[in-house]
């Protein structure tokens, strides 16, 4: 018998539907659906640029941030080139690399769930055109701090474009969060990806954007599909930008729930590293496969990587309580070999700084 899904916590979506003001803007746009949107999304680009406090020649809009990523790959990658990324990561990256005829180069994460920047640097060669970093990372929620990112960028050869995916950046509260705007001028090979799918809760509408130096942005824009950003999505994004403070309160609530859920799971004995995204990562050797079964039986849909981990999106309070209740029914994870939750991240950071200077 199929168990009904009560809580969808598998895709790192927002638990909140669009705000009433955003819905009204979408309804007005629907009434005009017989009209084309702009040929290129210039108005929306300008609005996003003003909101980011940069000039509009530093911004390009795409069909989700995944669409922007594809446009970048189409711009800089030729068949036979290589695209490197920490693995595991967002599933789209190996697919996008293959779509442009590149060799995907997955570089294992460090045991504490961080992207291994030393190993990524070592994996770059004359064939590499793009290296992808996710910050915060999907699925582990780990963070690359400002000093580490700067050290990495200084060492990446100029023929390699760094695709810095910040899909979850609005959920990060760390004092050492990189200021990526400030990095763009000194790193013309950097493209920062952002999205309205996560913190802004518009996943169905497919709007993301990239930030980079004007020369790189102009080249990527040449890959822009005419009429590619639909008018309802454009209206929703513009209305969301007007509702910034309401949306920030929602993000704060998700962050508070993330910390509450994490502590609930730590109390049950699961090892859960701090997360800077809208999800938590449970990982082997804790009993993640049994955990996945218990969640399914409780009607909670999470992302299960068999034998490896479980990524649980932060949902409503009720959904998060359902996660704790379901995982409480799984045998208490072994308490041996448990380290202080912050220790692994700090060790990885100092090890990387020791080698990179």
Ligand X SMILES: Cc1ncc(COP(=O)(O)O)c(C=O)c1O
Which residue ranges make up the site for ligand X (CB under 6 A)? 12, 64-66, 90, 134, 138, 165, 167, 195, 197, 203, 208
Instruction: To the nearest 10°, report the CA torsion of 176, 179, 184, 185.
Output: -100
- Nearest distance, CB of residue 92 and ligand X, angstroms: 7
Q: How far is the CB of 344 from ligand X (least distance, A)?
A: 21
**Residue nearest to ligand X according to CB distances in the complex:** 64
**What is the smallest separation between the CB atom of 104 and ligand X, expressed in angstroms?**
16
Please say which residue, 89 or 110, places its beta carbon nearer to ligand X: 89
Angle, CA of 34, 236 and 230, to the nearest 5°: 40
* Among 132, 208, 204, CA closest to 167: 208
Q: Shortest Cβ distance from residue 28 to ligand X (Å)? A: 24
Residue 113 or 287 having the CB closest to ligand X:
113
CA distances from 226 to 47, 67, 229 (A): 19, 13, 8
CB nearer to ligand X: give 51 or 324: 51
- Comparing CB distances to ligand X, the nearer of 115 and 138 is 138
Q: Which is nearer to ligand X, 195 or 224 (CB)?
A: 195
Q: How far is the CB of 62 from ligand X (least distance, A)?
A: 8
Q: Please list, in sequence order, all residues whose beta carbon lies within 8 angstroms of the beta carbon of residue 293, skipping any fewer than 6 positions away.
A: none
Which 8-state DSSP code applies to residue 113? S
* Whole-number Å distance between alpha carbons of 313 and 11: 7
H or E element in which residue 50 lies: helix 42-52
- Alpha carbon distance 82, 132 (integer Å): 11
């Amino acid at each position: 018998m199929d168990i009904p899904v009560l809580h969808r916590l598998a895709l790192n979506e927002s638990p909140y539907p669009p705000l009433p003001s955003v819905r009204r803007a979408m309804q007005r746009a629907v009434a005009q659906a017989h009209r084309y949107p702009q040929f290129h999304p210039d108005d929306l680009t300008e609005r996003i640029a003003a909101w980011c406090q940069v000039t509009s020649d530093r911004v390009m809009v795409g069909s989700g941030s995944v669409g922007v990523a594809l446009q970048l790959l189409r711009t800089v990658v030729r068949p036979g080139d290589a695209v490197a990324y920490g693995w595991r990561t967002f599933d789209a990256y190996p697919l996008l690399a293959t779509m442009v005829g590149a060799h995907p180069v997955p570089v294992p994460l460090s045991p504490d769930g961080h992207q291994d920047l030393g190993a990524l640097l070592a994996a770059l060669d004359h064939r590499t055109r793009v290296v992808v970093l996710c910050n915060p990372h999907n699925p582990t929620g780990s963070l690359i701090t400002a000093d580490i990112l700067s050290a990495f960028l200084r060492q990446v050869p100029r023929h390699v474009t760094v695709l810095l995916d910040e899909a979850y950046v609005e959920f990060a509260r760390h004092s050492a969060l990189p200021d990526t705007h400030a990095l763009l001028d000194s790193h013309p090979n950097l493209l920062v990806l952002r999205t309205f799918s996560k913190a802004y809760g518009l996943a169905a509408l497919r709007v993301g954007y990239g930030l980079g130096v004007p020369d790189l942005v102009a080249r990527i824009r040449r890959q822009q599909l005419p009429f590619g950003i639909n008018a309802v999505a454009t209206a929703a994004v513009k209305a969301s930008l007007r509702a910034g403070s309401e949306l920030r309160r929602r993000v704060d609530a998700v962050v508070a729930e993330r910390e509450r859920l994490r502590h609930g799971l730590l109390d049950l004995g699961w090892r859960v590293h701090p997360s800077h995204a809208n999800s938590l990562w449970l990982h082997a050797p804790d009993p993640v496969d049994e955990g996945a079964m218990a969640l399914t039986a409780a009607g909670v849909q999470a992302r299960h990587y068999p034998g490896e981990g479980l990524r649980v999106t932060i949902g409503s309070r009720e959904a998060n309580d359902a996660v704790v209740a379901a995982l409480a029914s799984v045998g208490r994870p072994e308490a041996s070999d448990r380290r202080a939750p912050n220790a692994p991240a700090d060790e990885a950071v100092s090890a990387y700084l020791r080698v990179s200077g």
